Amino acid sequence: MGVTIQFESHRVELAGIYEMEHDPSVLEYFDQPPPIKLTYESSTGRKMGVWHTPDFFVIRDREAGWEEWKTEEGLQRLKDRNPNRYFPKPKEQGGWDCPPGVAYAAPLGLYYHVRSSAEIDWTFQRNIQFLDDYLRADPSTIPASSRETARAHISAVPGLCLDKLLQVTKASISADDIFGMIAANILYVNLHAAPLAEPSRVEVYSSQEAATVAKPYNAGTPQLLSPVKLKRWASRGVLFPLCHLAAQAPNFRDFAGIRPSCTRGSEPSQPTTNDGTWPADRLCRGVPNTPYGAR
């Protein structure tokens, strides 16, 4: 938001700030809003009125209200102390509720949400912290040639492994520029899917839309093509993206000197089908006879 935000807990509130900063539904949020009065019964049945300062007041695109962030363990202790203030929602819903907070907010047309550390996506948190410096950088400093080259590789092989992209572009694009493009959404990575610190698990696309429509390379039951046909293709110099070829021809292996250089799991010593074919899920995306699939 371009302002300084205060927080008390690195474990919970800071994670909430990261989530709100990168949640497109959040328009604005404010830390330590003015206190509100919660009215409820104590564990002994005595009526209480407590002034309470929630962690944040959040304005979203369709609603607004207060949010209180706490650890799951802390909420359990508070429930044991007084179940009239905090208690877990039904299992099918998940999460926690604060009836006195909801009672205060509802007449104002607002909400009161209790957020637990159990809801936090720690893969996303790890990735946001990994990209912290890149998110602060100016993406216009990334050369246009680097953008075009990176997007060309990704367009040729949607879902290319990040480690492979870093490898094939290392002579022309710095790793910092690759991560800068991811931070600026010039290249799309699902930050909830896998840690960027483990690039062999990260898939890179040209856009979120491309990731949505892309068919996983191992989806469905592929039709097997004969080694004779595959060799004929290779002898004609025809290049096929390996993600497409793996879906079409799971018996793709070492024909014509072509060997996939990136695997998902170790390659078996013997074919796993009776006719000597090889399963598509042993192959990773790439392009034969190019840096994606070295000869």
C-alpha angle 66-68-70 in degrees, rounded to nearest 5 = 170
Distance CA 114, CA 91 (A): 15
Residue 165 has a pLDDT of 95
The average pLDDT across 252-257 equals 38
What is the average pLDDT score of the chain? 78
> Which contacts qualify for 71-80: CB closer than 8 Å, 24 or more apart?
71/9, 71/11, 71/12, 71/116, 71/117, 72/116, 72/117, 72/118, 73/117, 75/114, 75/116
Longest CA–CA span in the chain (Å) reads 86
In the three-class reduction of DSSP (H, G, I as helix; E, B as strand; rest coil), residue 221 is classed as: coil
CA distances from 184 to 35, 132, 210 (A): 37, 11, 16
Distance CA 39, CA 46 (A): 11
**pLDDT tops 90 at residue 266:** no
Residue 133 has a pLDDT of 93
What tens digit of pLDDT does each residue of 141-150 get?
999 999 999 9
C-alpha angle 69-71-62 in degrees, rounded to nearest 5 = 30
Q: Which of 172, 177, 277 is nearest to 223 (CA)?
A: 277
Using a cut of 0.85, tell me whether the model's pTM lies above it.
no
Strand 64-70 and strand 111-116: the pairing is parallel
Distance CA 91, CA 97 (A): 12
The average pLDDT across 16-36 equals 93
Residue 215 has a pLDDT of 58
Residue 161 has a pLDDT of 95
What tens digit of pLDDT does each residue of 68-82 get?
999 999 999 999 988
Contact between residue 123 and residue 192 where contact means Cβ atoms under 8 Å apart: yes
Strand 36-41 and strand 111-116: the pairing is unpaired
Point out the least confidently predicted range of 39-48, 202-211, 280-289.
280-289
**pLDDT tops 80 at residue 238:** no
Residue 56 is inside which H or E element, if any? strand 56-60
